[in-house]
Structure formats: C-alpha cells, structure tokens
Structure 1
Amino acid sequence: MPATEETEQEVIIAVMGVTGTGKSYFIREVSGISDVEVSSKLHSCTAEVKPYSFPYAGAKITLVDTPGFNDTVKSDAAVLRDICTWMSSNYRKGKLLSGIIYLHRITDVRMDGSSVKYVKMFQKLCGPDALKNVLLTTTRWSDVTQEQGESREGDLQGGDFWGGLITEGAAVARFMGTRESGLELLDKLMGNEPKPLDIQDQMAEKNMAMAETEVGKFMNGELDSLQKKYSKALKDLKKQHQKAIKQKDDLFEGILAEERAQTRRKLEEAAAQKKLLENLRVNILRELEEAENKREEERQRRDRAVIAVSTKDVSIGAHLTSLFTSYSTIGRLIYDIDDTTEFEKKPFEVEIRDQSNLLSPITVLVKTGQEVFSAGMSRSNYIIYNQGYYQCKPNRYIERGSRGFVIFSKY
C-alpha cells in the first residue's frame, strides 16, 4: 500500500546465500524491523520465503528473505523448490526483482567443492541477464583484518568461485554490518530495470518441470555424483567391515558399522532429493503455486489489520519533544475500523518511532499544527509489530465515540 499520496514504486530485492551468511540479520538491520528473527548459530531461522517491506528514498522497498542452501534441517532440493515456487508465483503477478544481494562470509577461508556447487546453482537459477542485477556481497568484516579481508575478497573474485558470475555482469560489494552500509547497497540496485530470472522464464513461461530447468539439471547431476560416491563408499566399508569381523577386531568393527549406517543415510537422502526433483512436474508446481497464493492471500488479510493509537494515550510532552525521536505508548490491533467494539480491545505497548531521515525530501511533510497537537504524528512515524512495519498514513485520524485515534497501517 502506498505511504504517500503519489503512486509509489515498489523495489523488490531478494537476499540469498547459504545458511549462516546473515540474510535475516541484513534484513533486520537495513529495514529497521527490529523483531526479524536472527539466528546466533549456523542454523537457519528462515523456514520459508518471506518478504519485508519498508519505505526508503521515496520508494517501497521489499526485501525477500530466502531459506539458505546447506541447511541442517531442510534439503537443498526442498529449499530450491520453495524458492522457485515463490519466484514463479510472483512472476505470474508481474512482480520482478530489481536485484539480488547474495551474501558470503568473508571469514570463510576455504572455497571447497560444496561452496562452489552452491555458487553454480545460483548462477543457473539467475541466468546471464539477471546476473547484471546481482551484488555478490561479503559479510562479517569485523571478524577479519583489512588485509585478510581484501586478500580473501580477491580470491573470491577469481577462478571457479565468483569469476564466472562477475564475467556475466555481477558486481562485488561489502556489507559492514550497519544500516548505512546496507542502504548503500540498496542505492546501487534501486535504479535497475527489473528482470526475470532464468528459472522464472523456464517454469512460468515455458512450463518446464523442475528437473528440466537449468538449475534442476545441475542439481540432478550433483545428486547422481553423490549417489555414485556413497554407493562406492558403502561397498568399500562392507569389505572392511567383513575383514574386521574375521579378525575379531570389535572396536574397529563398531566404528565401521557406524560409518556404514551414516553413509547409507546419506545415500538415502540423495535418492530422496532426486525423487523430489523428478516429482516436481508442471501440475505439481502449479499446485504449489496455488498454495503459495493462498498463503499470500492470508498474509494480505492479516496485513489489513491496523494499529490504532488514541490521542489521549500520547502526552502533550511527547507531542512537543518527541517529534523526531521514539517514545512508548499503547495501541490496539484493529481488524475492522468500522466495528466500534474493536476499539475496546485490551491495548498493548507500542513504540512510536520517527524515520524522517530515511524518507526522501519529497515525501517528508512538515507536521501541521493539527498533527502536532492532536496526535503528534506524521507519515514519518511508524511502529514495528510482529515483524511488520506499520506507518502513520496521511488523513488517518478517526474518531470513535468520544475518543480520537491515529491509524498505523501495515506497509
């Protein structure tokens, strides 16, 4: 929903990378939505694709948090399925990405085969045209010296890691862990022409099954290699296990038995991922898209709820001294502003903040006397609630009974 009287541009930017690179942290810091869940370990907090919207520089910025590959809970095939379903669904709605911020920890010393695999998967997912709108962004610079960081950054840009992506137009950037640093990245992407990813064209336009897409074929090839690797390992372990039994080496026999069990599980996991990809045919993908559309409709229904703040719950002192700072008061979550009984709900504590510095000069309005003394708020005021950004919209002062309320709507 627009936050200004003018038609507002929406800029959609996906934040991607393997688990633990700081995608949710980036979104929390840059958006100012302080209750975005962030993991302190290498375990993902992001179970599904989730967008977060907020105003910046006269536009509606939507940062899309995505599940990471190499997750400890969800398989790579399941992560790919979820990302591609969201991408395809939004493509059909005419929503294209203005850019992708692909995060990588500068603290990672080794670029092993697994790391290279995920970069190649990302390359296949995007395609050469969309890669021109990609920022390959390193994080965790506070954990290395400048010399170490620059050396590793140079290594990343060469060879099999980022070399191919850079050749096709991707740019390299740094996220220094601050909001200002993140906003600089947004500035670089906001003027881009939105482009479809290859996966969107292949699934939504060409009606390909997942296994037929470029990224699907690449993942299938990787899974084939894993199956061969684990099958050979099982045969070798079986021979060693039988030898240990003959030699009555109980300790070694136990170790080998555990290794065989682990390898067998890995082989079964690879087979399960391969089957998942093969089963993602056009009709199944459409069903997944329909399910995603229903989830989106439910999110939109919830997003229509507003937060009502009574003018009596904001003191005159707050009006006069907190025009460009934050202060606490109480509000009520309202699903139907025409239902007067909703305004009798039990209130909860909210913090009203001011974000004038992030709005463009065109969209920042001077607070009128009525705004200051009736409510003390303008469109630069906002509330963070339940991982959402609620903004004070123009002309959203209403009266219910003898009380006046200012309405904050989900952005």
Structure 2
Amino acid sequence: MSAFDDIRVLELGQIYNGPYCGLLLAQLGAEVIKIEPPGGEQLRFRSHQPVESHEFVMLNSNKVSVVLDLKTDAGRHALLDLAETADVLIENFAPGTIERLQLGPEQLLEHNPRLIVARGKGYGSTGPYAHMSAMDITVQAMSGSAAATGMPDGPPTKAGAAFVDFSGGIHLFGAISAALFQRERTGRGQLVEVSMHDTIYPMLASSLGGLHNNPDRKLPERTGNRHSGMALAPYNIYEASDGWLAIICISERHWRGVATALGRPELVDDPRFSKESDRAANIDAVDEEMSACTKTRTRAELVRDLQAAGVPCAPVKSIREIDTDEHLIERGMIRYVEHPARGRVPVPGCPLRLSDSPVGPLRAAPLLGQSTEEILAEVSGEEPQHVPTA
C-alpha cells in the first residue's frame, strides 16, 4: 500500500511550484489529475519545439491530463463535478485568478466540504505584497536571497537552482499532508496556503546570524562562496588543478584534518589560525594558504585525502556530471521513462523515503488531454465522448 492510495488530487499547477507538489503526491500513490487549459500548461511547450519540454516531462510523471476551459461555464461545471470526487485541489495561479474564474475556495468547499484546497502563492493572500505576481527570481529579490548571493563587490545574484519555486511546492506538500491527517480526525476539509516568500526567511539563518550576532561588526551583504555570516574559515570553493572543490571546517578537528591532508601541519600552530574566531578574523590569509595547496592537486586527490582526514568537502560538479551522477542513479533519484515523443528520458525519483510505502514504477508525463474523455465520463456516469483539447 502506498501512503496516498485512494487519494484523488486535482492539480491546476503551473511551471514548477504546483506541479512539483503534485509530483510528490503522485509518487506516493495519489491519483493526480492534471487540469490543463486548451493548448496545455505553459511549461509543456517551453522548449519551443513540437514536443513537451524536458522540464514538463520531469515534473509530471504518474499524472493524467484532462483539458478543461475554465473560462467557460461548461469547463467550470466540469471542474466542480470533479471536485466533488476529489480529496485535494492544488492551484498556484496568480493572485485573484481562481476567484475571477468563480472557483474560489468558498465555492469549492461548498461543493465538497471534505476537500483540501491547497494554494501555492508568491506572497500569500494577506499582507502588503499579496497583490504582487511572483516568479522564482522576483521572490529571490524580495526575500533577501538575491542580496545575499554573489561576490561582495558584485551585483545581487539569483541562485542557479529555482529553489524558491520548489521550496514552495515542498512546503505545500507538507501542508496538504497535515490537512489530510487532520481530516482523519475532524472529517472536514480546509483551505491551506503556502507563500514562497514565507519559506525563504528561515533559509537566511547564516546571513541573519551575521547581522545579529555581531551588531558592531560590519559585514558585507554578499560573501561570495564564503560563510554568509563570515563566522567560519576555511569555508569556500577553492580551485583545483582540474576544477573546483568546496571545503568547510566547523570544528578544530576539521582544521587539523585540513592541515594534515594538504601537507601543511604547521598551519595548526600558526597564531593567526589558532581558534575559529582567529581564522574568521584572518579569513583572507586562510583562503590564500588553502588555494596555494589546492591548485596543485586534482579534485579526486583532494577529496580522497580530505575525506580520509574527516573534513567535509566535495567537488563542484557540472550540470553534465549531475545528469549522470552515479549516486543519484543508484538511489533511484534519477530514473528513466519512455516518453512517446522524447524517447528514453531521465526524470526525478522521489526524495521521500518511507519504508512501508515504496515508490513504484514511474510513468511518463501524459500527453495533453490524454485522459479527458475517460475521467469526465467516470464523473458523469456516461459513455466517453470526444472533448476537443485545443
């Protein structure tokens, strides 16, 4: 039995936030019906090719696709009929969209009081930013993440990974799980909401620590690859002879290990580096000593010796290396499916590991509207009829 067997989810998801939340539910056994507009969800054809984009294929395994035009009475009625059979409805439309479609939480819960209406928003439905539309980069800007990212003498910089969108989707999955658990006790559905902006503030712990732990010490807002609070050294990405390597020391044991692994045992007795606070105060000197050693050796050599000395480190892997990462493949986080248009493609496995709810085989993302007739016929109790998808 999977964790979410017999749970039906309607996903009105777009781009990354809502679809990733739906993907996690689908991987753990929920029936996820992806509701798409005529022409398909925006991410489906982002590649500007006549086949689904790789991003769409990545985030929509194990779902079925139903096309409904929610701007029409027929489309809205069909969604409300579906909502009566569902346990969860996910939407991450721009502010006010679902209300303009006359499908707000009140209407949905009136049709099905046991429904969990889950909303992924940029800034939530309350507060002075609630009206603002949001994308990953704009929330990175608004949340302080972009200000904290980049080199001290450079501009604010967005993170390479779309972590804001996915953070919102992950938190929404958690909220849905909690609401389903509560429904087991109360028998009632409810509205749950996650603001992407809300989820980023706790992630600024190191930067905020630098602000509050040392009120008299002026720190740069951006610290490059150094610790955001400038409290730890070495803590950086250092050049190797064949690439780059991340090294971090958070204890005296780690520092002794670094000195030993790099063949510089005398650094342990250097008064500039005696304690963690000394190394933080002399961070430029620490990085100069480190770089002088790492530049002469390969990533593999450095990882071997530093790991043997118990020092946290890792090579900086390229996107091409990650695409075939042996660890991710062995753990099932990179899995392969056969897509009717793209052929064999890698898709994400499930990072949530439940010993009593194993993740089964993954199916490729559905073609647009592939299950429209079947699902609507099931709800109406009538024979399937052809429904145009564009």
* TM-score, normalising length: structure 1: 0.30
* TM-score, normalising length: structure 2: 0.31
Q: Which one has the bigger strand percentage?
A: 1
